[in-house]
Amino acid sequence: MSLTVRFRVNGDQRSVTTDPERRLLDVLREELQLTGTKYGCGEGQCGACLVLVDGEPARSCLLPVRVVEGKSVTTIEGLARGEALHPVQVAFLEEGALQCGYCTSGMILAALSLLRRKPDPTDEEIAAGMNGHLCRCNGYVKIVKAVRRAAALMRAERHG
Amino acid sequence: MDEPLSELDRRTFLQALGSGLLITVTNPNGWAQGTPVSARLFLNGDGTITALSGKVEEGQGPRSELSQAAAEELRVPVERVRLVMADTDLVPDDGITAGSRTTPINVPEMRRAAATAREMLTALAARQWKVDPATLAVRDGVITSPTGRTMTYADLAKAKDVAAALGQAVRPDVALTPVQDWKTLGQSVPKSNARDLVTGAHRFPSDVVRPGMLRGRVLRPPAYGATLESVDLSSAKAMGDVVAVREGPFVGFAAPSSHRATQALEAAARTASWKMSPRSVSNDSLFEHLGTHARRDEARAEEKGSAETALRTADRVLTGSYRVAFIQHAPMEPRAAVAEWSGDRLTVWAGCDGPFRAQQLLSEALGIPRERVRVIVPDMGGGFGGKHTAEAAVEAARLARAAGKPVSVRWTREEEFTWAYCRPAALIECRGGLNVSGALVAWEFTSINPGGAAIGTPYAIPNVRIASVGSDSPLPQGSYRCLGATANNFARESFMDELAAAAGSDPLEFRLAHLENSRLRAVLEKTAKEFGWAARRRQVTPERGVGLACGTEKNSVVAACVEVRLDRSKGRIEVTEICEAFECGPILNPANLLSQVQGCIVMALGGALTEELEFAEGKILNPRFSRYRVPRFRDVPRIDVHLVENRDVPPAGGGETPIIAAAPAIANAVFAATGVRLRSMPLRGEALRKS
CATH for B224: 3.30.365.10
Dihedral of alpha carbons B581, B582, B586, B590, sign: negative
Cα separations (Å) of B626 from A15, A100, A107, B324, B611?
33, 23, 19, 21, 12
Same domain, A100 and A129: yes
SS3 state at B564: strand
Q: Indicate the residue of B384, B601, B625 with minimum beta-carbon distance to A46.
A: B625
Same domain, B212 and B235: yes
Same domain, B144 and B64: yes
Mean pLDDT throughout B388-404?
A: 98
Calculate how close chain A gets to B131, using CA atoms only, in Å: 46
> Percent of chain A beyond pLDDT 70?
99
Same domain, A100 and A74: no
Contacts of A92 in chain B (CB under 8 A): 198
> pLDDT value at position B1?
37
**Interchain proximity B197–A45, CB inside 8 Å:** no
Dihedral of alpha carbons B572, B573, B575, B576, sign: positive
**Interchain proximity A48–B332, CB inside 8 Å:** yes
Query: Residue A66 burial by CB count (10 A; 0-12/13-18/19+): exposed, middle or buried?
Result: middle
Q: Indicate the residue of A46, A130, A137 with minimum beta-carbon distance to B633.
A: A130
- In the listed set B410, B438, B457, which residue is the last one of a domain according to the structure? B410
Asked if B216 and B254 touch (Cβ cutoff 8 Å), the reply is yes
SS3 state at B634: helix
Q: How confident is the model at residue B3 (pLDDT cuts 50, 70, 90)?
A: very low
- In the listed set B358, B387, B410, which residue is the last one of a domain according to the structure? B410
Distance CA A133, CA A140 (A): 10
- In the listed set A78, A110, A135, which residue is the last one of a domain according to the structure? A78
Q: Is residue B417 part of a domain?
A: no
Scanning B203-262 for CB atoms below 8 A from A yields: 203-204, 206-207, 209, 215, 257-259
Task: Show Cβ contacts of residue B154 under 8 Å, excluding neighbours closer than 6 positions.
Answer: B45, B46, B47, B141
Q: Is residue B197 part of a domain?
A: no
Same domain, A108 and A74: no
> pLDDT value at position A1?
81
Calculate how close chain A gets to B23, using CA atoms only, in Å: 33
**Interchain proximity A128–B633, CB inside 8 Å:** yes
Q: Is residue B340 part of a domain?
A: yes
Each residue of B411-422: pLDDT tens digit?
A: 999 999 999 999
- Contacts within 8 Å (CB) and 24+ apart, B536-545: B536/B563, B537/B506, B537/B508, B537/B672, B540/B672, B540/B673, B541/B673, B542/B566, B542/B568, B542/B673, B542/B674, B543/B567, B543/B568, B543/B673, B544/B673, B545/B669, B545/B670, B545/B671, B545/B672, B545/B673, B545/B674
Return the closest-CA partner of residue B335 out of B350, B347, B348.
Answer: B350
> pLDDT value at position B10?
60
Each residue of B561-606: pLDDT tens digit?
A: 999 999 999 999 999 999 999 999 999 999 999 999 999 999 999 9
Task: Show Cβ contacts of residue B388 under 8 Å, excluding neighbours closer than 6 positions.
Answer: B96, B98, B352, B353, B354, B357, B478, B479
Mean pLDDT throughout B183-192?
A: 97
Read off the amino acid at residue B65. Answer: E
Residue B458 has pLDDT above 80, yes or no: yes
Q: How confident is the model at residue B32 (pLDDT cuts 50, 70, 90)?
A: low
Calculate how close chain B gets to A64, using CA atoms only, in Å: 11
Q: Is residue B65 part of a domain?
A: yes
Asked if B60 and B103 touch (Cβ cutoff 8 Å), the reply is no
Sheet holding A56-59, edge to edge: A12-18, A3-9, A72-74, A50-53, A56-59
Same domain, A138 and A94: yes
Asked if B542 and B654 touch (Cβ cutoff 8 Å), the reply is no
Same domain, A31 and A61: yes
SS3 state at B302: strand
Residue A107's closest chain B neighbor by CA? Answer: B198
**Interchain proximity A26–B257, CB inside 8 Å:** yes
Q: Is residue B2 part of a domain?
A: no
Same domain, A144 and A102: yes
Residue B6 has pLDDT above 60, yes or no: no
User: What does A17-74 look like in DSSP terms, one character per residue?
Assistant: EE-TTSBHHHIIIIIS--TTS--S-SSSSS-TTEEEETTEEEETTT-BGGGGTT-EEE
Calculate how close chain B gets to A77, using CA atoms only, in Å: 6
Q: How confident is the model at residue B279 (pLDDT cuts 50, 70, 90)?
A: confident
Number of domains composing chain A: 2
> pLDDT value at position B23?
40
Q: Indicate the residue of A37, A132, A140 with minimum beta-carbon distance to B636.
A: A140
> pLDDT value at position A139?
82
Q: How confident is the model at residue A158 (pLDDT cuts 50, 70, 90)?
A: confident
Same domain, A128 and A155: yes
Task: Annotate B408-442 with three-state secondary structure.
Answer: EEECCHHHHHHHCCEECCEEEEEEEEECCCCCEEE
Task: Annotate B576-623 with three-state secondary structure.
Answer: EEEEEEEECCCCCCHHHHHHHHHHHHHHHHHHHHHCCCCEECCEECCC
Q: Within 10 Å of residue B211's Cβ, how many Cβ atoms?
A: 8
CATH number at residue A138: 1.10.150.120
In this prediction, does ipTM exceed 0.90? Answer: yes
Number of domains composing chain B: 3
Read off the amino acid at residue B48. Answer: T
Asked if B481 and B324 touch (Cβ cutoff 8 Å), the reply is no
Same domain, A150 and A102: yes
Same domain, B442 and B549: yes
Same domain, B255 and B297: no
Asked if B485 and B551 touch (Cβ cutoff 8 Å), the reply is yes
Q: Within 10 Å of residue B516's Cβ, how many Cβ atoms?
A: 9
Distance CA B588, CA B585 (A): 9
Same domain, A59 and A101: no
Q: Is residue B675 part of a domain?
A: yes
Each residue of B116-171: pLDDT tens digit?
A: 999 999 999 999 999 999 999 999 999 999 999 999 999 999 988 898 999 999 99
Strands B345-350 and B373-376: parallel
Q: Indicate the residue of B59, B259, B630 with minimum beta-carbon distance to A99.
A: B59
**Interchain proximity A76–B384, CB inside 8 Å:** no
Sheet holding B49-53, edge to edge: B41-43, B49-53, B81-85
Peptide bond into B682 cis (omega under 30): yes
Residue B397 has pLDDT above 70, yes or no: yes
Each residue of A36-50: pLDDT tens digit?
A: 999 999 999 999 999
Mean pLDDT for chain B overall? 94
**Interchain proximity B632–A131, CB inside 8 Å:** yes
> Percent of chain B beyond pLDDT 70?
95
Burial string for A104-132 (b: 16+ CB within 10 Å, else e) reads: bbbbbbbbbbbbeeeeebeeeebbebbeb
**Interchain proximity A131–B331, CB inside 8 Å:** no
**Interchain proximity A128–B634, CB inside 8 Å:** yes
**Interchain proximity A23–B591, CB inside 8 Å:** no
Sheet holding B680-681, edge to edge: B300-304, B463-469, B440-448, B426-434, B316-324, B680-681
Return the closest-CA partner of residue B560 out of B568, B569, B551.
Answer: B551
Same domain, B482 and B610: yes
**Interchain proximity A77–B201, CB inside 8 Å:** yes
Asked if A70 and A58 touch (Cβ cutoff 8 Å), the reply is no
- In the listed set B367, B383, B410, which residue is the last one of a domain according to the structure? B410
Q: Is residue B285 part of a domain?
A: no
Backbone φ and ψ of B422, nearest 5°: -115, 175
Same domain, A144 and A96: yes
Distance CA A7, CA B123 (A): 63
Distance CA B453, CA B478 (A): 13
Each residue of A79-132: pLDDT tens digit?
A: 999 999 999 999 999 999 999 999 999 999 999 999 999 999 999 999 999 999
> pLDDT value at position B15?
53
Mean pLDDT throughout B235-259?
A: 97
Asked if B44 and B19 touch (Cβ cutoff 8 Å), the reply is yes
Distance CA A27, CA A18 (A): 9
Distance CA A156, CA A91 (A): 13
Asked if B145 and B135 touch (Cβ cutoff 8 Å), the reply is yes
Calculate how close chain A gets to B551, using CA atoms only, in Å: 21
Same domain, B344 and B454: no
Q: How confident is the model at residue A159 (pLDDT cuts 50, 70, 90)?
A: confident
Cα separations (Å) of B688 from B88, B267, B564, B571?
54, 49, 13, 6
Asked if B202 and B251 touch (Cβ cutoff 8 Å), the reply is no
> pLDDT value at position B62?
97
Each residue of B630-657: pLDDT tens digit?
A: 999 999 999 999 999 999 999 999 999 9
Q: Indicate the residue of B195, B599, B626 with minimum beta-carbon distance to A99.
A: B599
Contacts of A41 in chain B (CB under 8 A): 413, 624-625
Each residue of B517-547: pLDDT tens digit?
A: 999 999 999 999 999 999 999 999 999 999 9
**Interchain proximity A35–B200, CB inside 8 Å:** yes
CATH number at residue A68: 3.10.20.30
> pLDDT value at position B83?
97
Q: Which helix H or strand E contains B534, and what residues bound it? A: helix B533-538
Q: Indicate the residue of B191, B258, B414 with minimum beta-carbon distance to A26.
A: B258
- In the listed set A32, A54, A78, which residue is the last one of a domain according to the structure? A78
User: What does B472-497 look like in DSSP terms, one character per residue?
Assistant: --SS-B---TTTTHHHHHHHHHHHHH
SS3 state at B57: coil
Domain of residue A93: give its range. Answer: 87-159
> pLDDT value at position B338?
98
Same domain, B589 and B445: yes
Same domain, B487 and B530: yes
**Rounded to two decimals, what is the model's pTM?**
0.96
Strands B572-583 and B250-255: unpaired
Domain of residue B121: give its range. Answer: 7-184
Q: Is residue B284 part of a domain?
A: no
Contacts of A42 in chain B (CB under 8 A): 412-414
Asked if B402 and B245 touch (Cβ cutoff 8 Å), the reply is yes
Read off the amino acid at residue B369. Answer: P
Calculate how close chain A gets to B334, using CA atoms only, in Å: 7
Asked if B219 and B251 touch (Cβ cutoff 8 Å), the reply is yes
**Interchain proximity A140–B334, CB inside 8 Å:** no
Distance CA A122, CA A120 (A): 7
Distance CA B195, CA B247 (A): 42
DSSP E strand boundaries for B325-420: 336-342, 345-350, 373-376, 407-410
Mean pLDDT throughout A22-47?
A: 98
Mean pLDDT throughout B27-52?
A: 82
Same domain, A117 and A148: yes
Same domain, A74 and A92: no
> pLDDT value at position B13?
57
- In the listed set A53, A78, A103, which residue is the last one of a domain according to the structure? A78
Residue A84 carries which DSSP code?
B
Distance CA B583, CA B657 (A): 10
Asked if B132 and B689 touch (Cβ cutoff 8 Å), the reply is no
Same domain, B356 and B322: no
Distance CA B673, CA A94 (A): 41
Inter-chain Cβ pairs, chain A and chain B, closer than 8 A: 173
Residue B316 has pLDDT above 80, yes or no: yes
Mean pLDDT throughout A58-75?
A: 98
DSSP E strand boundaries for B530-571: 544-553, 556-567
Same domain, B375 and B450: no
Calculate how close chain A gets to B207, using CA atoms only, in Å: 6
Same domain, B502 and B386: no
Same domain, B54 and B99: yes
Calculate how close chain B gets to A57, using CA atoms only, in Å: 17
**Interchain proximity B634–A126, CB inside 8 Å:** no
SS3 state at B526: helix
